[in-house]
Amino acid sequence: MPTKLPPQPMLPHGFAGRVFGWLMERLAAGNYRWVIRQLRAVKPRRYLEVGYGTGRLAEMVAQTFTPSRIAGVDPSDLMFRTTTKKLRRYRKKIAVELVLGDANVLPDGPFDAIVASHTFQFWDDPTATLVRLHSLLAPGGRLVFVIRRHISSGVIDWIPNPITRSGNELDGLSAALSEAGFRVVVDEKLKSGSQGVVAAAK
C-alpha cells in the first residue's frame, strides 16, 4: 500500500504542488518585502532559510545584498529543484548550499540572518531547533519569522509543531525564543494578516 504524502502546505509535490508554490509565492510577496526590510540593518553576508519553498525570498536576498553564502533546508524535492534552478544564476558570486531536509537538518554556521517564513508550524521539535539556531547565529545577527496569526482547527489536527497545536502559537513562540536565549526586537502585524517577529541573541 503506497505511503500517504503529507498535505501540500507541508510538502508540495506533483502538479498540485507546482500550483500551490505559485500561489504561495504571490500571496507571500508582501511578507518577503517585509523580511528584506528587516535584514537591511544587518546586510547579511551569510544567510540561512529554514523552508525556502520556491526560492523567491532567497532570490530577493541575493539580489539585494549579494551575500557570500546562501544556505537553506526544505523537505520538498519539488521545491529543492525549483529553488536550485532559480538560484543557479547567482552561483558565480554566491556560495549556494541547498539541502533537502527539515528543521532538524541544519548546516553549520555562523549566519548573520536566519529566516523562517510560514514554516515554523512544521517543526516537530521547535525547542531543540531554536537552541540550534541560537548556536548558528553570528554576533549581532537576526532570526526572522513570519507566522500565521490564525490556524484552523483542521490544520491543527495534522500540524507537527506542539507549540502551534497548543492554539496560542505567537505567545508560545515568544516564550520558546526566550527559553532558547533570544530576545524579541520586532513584533509586528503585517498587512498580509501574518505576524512578523525578529529576534536577536540576549
Q: Residue 57 domain-assigned? A: yes
pLDDT in tens, 126-140: 999 999 999 999 999
Q: Residue 18 domain-assigned? A: no
Q: Residue 63 domain-assigned? A: yes
For the beta carbon of residue 50, count every other beta carbon within 10 angstroms: 24
Q: What is the pLDDT of residue 49?
A: 98
Please report which confidence band the pLDDT of residue 149 belongs to, taking 50, 70 and 90 as the band edges: confident
Nearest CA to 105 out of 83, 85, 128 is that of 128
Pick 182 or 159 by higher pLDDT: 182
Reply yes or no on whether the pLDDT at 80 is more than 60.
yes
**CATH number for position 184:** 3.40.50.150
pLDDT in tens, 185-198: 999 999 888 999 99
- Mean pLDDT is lowest, of 9-13, 30-34, 52-56, 119-123, for 9-13
Q: Residue 9 domain-assigned? A: no
Q: What is the pLDDT of residue 19?
A: 64
Please, which residues have CB within 8 angstroms of residue 117's CB and are 6 or more apart in sequence? 28, 31, 32, 35, 49, 51, 53, 57, 144, 145, 146
Q: What is the pLDDT of residue 18?
A: 73
Please report which confidence band the pLDDT of residue 165 belongs to, taking 50, 70 and 90 as the band edges: confident
Task: Please measure the distance between the N-terminal and C-terminal CA atoms of the chain and give it in whole angstroms.
Answer: 50
Q: Residue 146 domain-assigned? A: yes
- What pTM was estimated for this model as a whole? 0.91
Where residue 40 falls (left for φ over 0; alpha for ψ -120 to 50; beta otherwise) is alpha
For the beta carbon of residue 23, count every other beta carbon within 10 angstroms: 10
pLDDT in tens, 14-57: 666 676 566 776 777 889 999 999 999 999 999 999 999 999 99
* Beta bridge partners of residue 137, listed in sequence order: 111
Nearest CA to 126 out of 73, 50, 70 is that of 50
- Pair 82, 55: CB distance under 8 Å: yes
Sheet-wide strand order for 182-189: 95-100, 69-74, 46-50, 111-117, 137-147, 195-201, 182-189
Reply yes or no on whether the pLDDT at 147 is more than 60.
yes
Nearest CA to 14 out of 82, 83, 104 is that of 82
Number of domains in the chain: 1
Q: What is the pLDDT of residue 1?
A: 45
Please, which residues have CB within 8 angstroms of residue 153's CB and are 6 or more apart in sequence? none
**Which residues constitute the domain of residue 52?**
29-201
